[in-house]
């Protein structure tokens, strides 16, 4: 059971999710400006920056909060750990998710401002189709499997590289370019750029992500029936962070 104060973990989740969206949106803006006539190269640049940025954020903030940065990851962590007394509590989940959502929005605002745009510019990129929703189901189910299989098999130390690699590759093998994260999806609606998604498309993506999380949970239960015992290791093992006086608070 993690004893790092909840407020500290919540701050880490907000910062981490925000910076993840800044990486996604900022690299998307840069890619569109650097390679304006080559959509494939834009996607490559965006995916490469996102994969590396996510790995670094997990390494930096994982010891504090577990580096979920994703409401569906937090939700599954609570669900599988509740019987074993591991992972997030209901109170933790109720604090993590709002922090992730607020962080995501602020991350998009930061990216917009860094590139000289308006703080908020609603995306006009429509992403509404059955094929894209199916891509989100696949992307999210795969992410849940990667994250929780590593924890269940005692290989959580590989999460920064493995999760970053999965997200980077899923940009290419899924039709939706693998948002796989409700908070990041909502944040991306606040930027009318290469990485954006129109507000009208949000509901379809979020529903697909929740369905994908359920599929991933089902596969996890089938293949790793004792995964709940390792819920404290998701995404990376959280540790107690001492106060400046050396006393854990």
Distance separating alpha carbons of residues 135 and 176, to the nearest angstrom = 5
Partners of 100 in beta bridges? none
170/240: higher pLDDT: 170
Whether omega for the bond prior to residue 235 falls within 30 degrees of 0, making it cis, is: yes
| Residue 177 and residue 188 in contact, taking contact as beta carbons nearer than 8 Å | no
Residue 155: what pLDDT? 93
Pick the CATH number of 6-231 from 3.90.1200.10, 1.10.150.120, 2.60.40.10, 1.20.1080.10: 1.20.1080.10
Q: Summarize pLDDT for 125-165 with one digit per residue, the tens.
A: 999 999 999 999 999 999 999 999 999 999 999 999 999 99
Distance separating alpha carbons of residues 19 and 141, to the nearest angstrom = 23
Partners of 61 in beta bridges? none
pTM over 0.85: yes
Phi and psi at 248, nearest 5°, equal -70, 130
Q: If DSSP states are collapsed to H, E and C, what string results for the chain?
A: CCCCCHHHHHHHHHHHHHHHHHHHHHHHHHHHHHCCCCHHHHHHHHHHHHHHHHHHHHHHHHHHHCCCCCHHHHHHHHHHHCCCCCCCCHHHHHHHHHHHHHHHHHHHHHHHHHCCCCCCECCCCCCCCHHHHHHHHHHHHHHHHHHHHHHHCCCHHHHHHHHHHHHHHHHHHCCCCCCCCHHHHHHHCCECCCCCCCHHHHHHHHHHHHHHHHHHHHHHHHHCCCHHHHHHHCCCCCCCCECCCCCEC
- Contact partners, residue 186, CB within 8 Å, separation at least 6: 101, 104, 105, 202, 206
Mean pLDDT value across the chain: 93
- Predicted confidence band of residue 2 (pLDDT cuts 50, 70, 90): low
Q: Summarize pLDDT for 86-132 with one digit per residue, the tens.
A: 889 999 999 999 999 999 999 999 999 999 999 999 999 999 999 99
Phi and psi at 104, nearest 5°, equal -60, -45
Residue 53: what pLDDT? 98
N-terminal to C-terminal alpha carbon distance within the chain: 14
Phi and psi at 24, nearest 5°, equal -65, -50
Q: Summarize pLDDT for 209-245 with one digit per residue, the tens.
A: 999 999 999 999 999 998 888 888 887 766 665 555 4
């Amino acid at each position: 059971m993690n004893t790092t104060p909840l407020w500290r973990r919540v701050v880490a989740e907000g910062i981490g999710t925000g910076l993840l969206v800044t990486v996604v949106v900022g690299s998307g803006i840069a890619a569109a400006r650097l390679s304006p006539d080559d959509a494939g190269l834009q996607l490559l640049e965006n995916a490469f920056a996102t994969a590396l940025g996510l790995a670094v954020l997990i390494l930096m903030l994982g010891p504090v909060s577990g580096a979920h940065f994703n409401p569906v990851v937090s939700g599954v962590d609570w669900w599988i750990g509740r019987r074993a007394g591991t992972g997030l509590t209901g109170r933790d989940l109720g604090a993590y998710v709002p922090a992730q959502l607020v962080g995501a929005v602020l991350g998009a605002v930061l990216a917009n401002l860094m590139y000289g745009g308006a703080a908020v510019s609603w995306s006009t990129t429509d992403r509404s189709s059955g094929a894209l929703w199916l891509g989100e189901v696949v992307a999210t189910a795969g992410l849940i499997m990667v994250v929780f299989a590593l924890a269940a098999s005692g290989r959580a130390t590989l999460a920064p590289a493995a999760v970053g690699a999965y997200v980077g590759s899923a940009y290419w093998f899924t039709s939706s370019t693998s948002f796989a994260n409700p908070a990041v999806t909502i944040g991306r609606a606040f930027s009318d750029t290469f990485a954006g998604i129109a507000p009208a498309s949000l509901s379809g993506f979020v529903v697909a992500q929740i369905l994908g999380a359920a599929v991933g949970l089902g596969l996890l239960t089938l293949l790793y029936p004792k995964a709940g015992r390792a819920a404290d290791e998701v995404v990376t093992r959280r540790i107690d962070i001492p106060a400046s006086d050396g006393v854990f608070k």
